[in-house]
Structure 1
């Protein structure tokens, strides 16, 4: 208490700079006996550290496990959880062509110079050899191709078996002939994309053929026996009038259709997509020909053009 007449004197505060701790030896860093610390932490500090990270990783693992469990409940090795209309692929299969350039630096055109060995023609032959390898060597397939059976028209393979693709029916479109890329009669191969459980609705009645179906395909279908008409049909033609004149005549091997024996696709091991080989004959040289090939079935929607193409494939061929 300050008495009357006395003055209050403020206390003086002196700031003391922190002193640099004395360096510790390696033994003290590992175990400081004076402060009872192991690697700079007390037993209680280490306990809380391990408790925090233990709980953290348990929660992290539980969240990860829950996500993976939810994912694998929608995944099946045999069939997709979402099929056809419920899937992103949908119910309209696309048509593919081989060979296609795998090198992005190469243009999207089949361009080669026939006659003898050259890098251009050899490039396309190599692509086809790689694509057709499982067709000519079924031993590399799951099950080594032992479940492949020969299917006649309309015949469905036995359970756990698939129809074989007879490469001998590709005619001149074979490796020994370099698929025609050593001459002026090259070959391309068409295949339909796989959709689990999908089956074509066939144009097997000649009275129900669409009006825009090519005349040569109509005549071909009419020439077949009724029992052989249950097929998915394929046609190819030039896109523009100049292309239609330049492409010449197409030959189809083994035929112009894919038999119903290959459908529906059920992901049976060793399954090979059926192929149709298209050979260019009497085509003009030194002219870039735009070709469109189309698949024909009642449940395949068609849309041409360069965008939103459906049920068909577009490619170009240039023979030097």
Structure 2
């Protein structure tokens, strides 16, 4: 008796579901008549069409605010100090586990320890090697102080002229106790350098060694100061200056001004300066600060503007 009642209830549920799907008496499908389905279908078609149209209008308005050259809305001179002053970067960077560190620490003569720093520099220089092999092209051109790049073109980079130890074949000097650091200015769209044109314009706090170099470079440039963003590296403290040893720069003692401004042009690579530290003191932590010099570069240690700090330790 109980089984018969259970089967009857199951049959009633099946009949109810079939009736819900299609009711032959009321001509309803899933609880709605044909005219009801037609009305709700038309409603949702109109609703989603309006929604898609509104989205398309908003996107069209949004794209009207964008630069066709993919330049940002705010560029140097439009905002605060962070938009007016370039920052500097350096390579090689510390290992991933010490990502916040600025310490370049290696064991002299330990090839396994040196490998990280050499690989970092090799990877960083790869794009520059590719650019240097290009002898012609629509977007690459030779530049000089008197020959600035045309619109939508980039200057061919000079990578030759490095000191003997500042190159891949010499492991960037790390196996010769003369490590090399590569410096660059971070990309800032539309930022151009205001270079020093007379000796009187050189700031008082500029290192004397750099002032002497600028004076000597004038003799090779027809008595005029080359249009450069000059670079200087020094020990931060008197003890650091004592232990740092001789320093050499290549291929220039700074960044040629004709590489700027950066305009988001395809193929652009910022110029680099190789800084070679000849025989820095071993087993001593040396604090080093490198600065870029131009009339419109402000040095700010707190925000790392116009300069870069790192430490060098050679065991």
Smaller-chain TM-score range? Answer: 0.7 to 0.9
Counterpart of 1:214 in structure 2 is 207
Aligned length: 298
Q: Is 2:309 the partner of 1:309?
A: no
Shift of 1:48: 4.2
Which of 84, 91, 95 matches 2:84? 91
List structure 1 segments (4+ residues) > 6 angstroms apart after TM superposition.
none
Shift of 1:102: 6.3
Shift of 1:77: 4.6
Cα deviation 1:234-269 (Å, max 9, x = unaligned): 111111222222211211011212222212322332
Counterpart of 1:281 in structure 2 is 278
Change (3 A) 1:47 1:216: same
- Runs of 5+ consecutive residues of structure 2 not aligned to the other structure: 1-8
Q: What secondary structure, in the 3-state scheme, does the structure 1 residue paired with 2:96 have?
A: coil
Structure 1 segment 24-63 matched on structure 2, within 5 A: 24=15, 30-63=21-54
User: What root-mean-square deviation, in Å, do the aligned CA atoms of Structure 1 and Structure 2 show?
Assistant: 2.9
Cα deviation 1:133-185 (Å, max 9, x = unaligned): 110012999x9965333333443134443221121123332211121222311
Alpha carbons 2:229, 2:257 under 8 Å: kept: yes
Shift of 1:213: 0.6
Which of 103, 107, 115 matches 2:109? 115
Change (3 A) 1:181 1:205: same
Deviates more, 1:228-237 or 1:35-44: 35-44
**Partner Cα separation in structure 2 for residue 301 and residue 148 of structure 1:** 31
Deviates more, 1:36-45 or 1:230-239: 36-45
Structure 1 segment 67-106 matched on structure 2, within 5 A: 67-78=58-69, 79-86=71-78, 90-101=83-94, 103-106=96-99
Structure 1 segment 169-208 matched on structure 2, within 5 A: 169-171=161-163, 172-208=165-201
Q: Is 2:230 the partner of 1:239?
A: no
Change (3 A) 1:46 1:101: farther
Cα deviation 1:104-149 (Å, max 9, x = unaligned): 445432111232521x3211222222221110012999x9965333
Counterpart of 1:265 in structure 2 is 262
**Partner Cα separation in structure 1 for residue 95 and residue 54 of structure 2:** 40
Shift of 1:39: 3.5
Q: What secondary structure, in the 3-state scheme, does the structure 2 residue paired with 1:234 have?
A: strand
Q: What secondary structure, in the 3-state scheme, does the structure 2 residue paired with 1:86 have?
A: coil
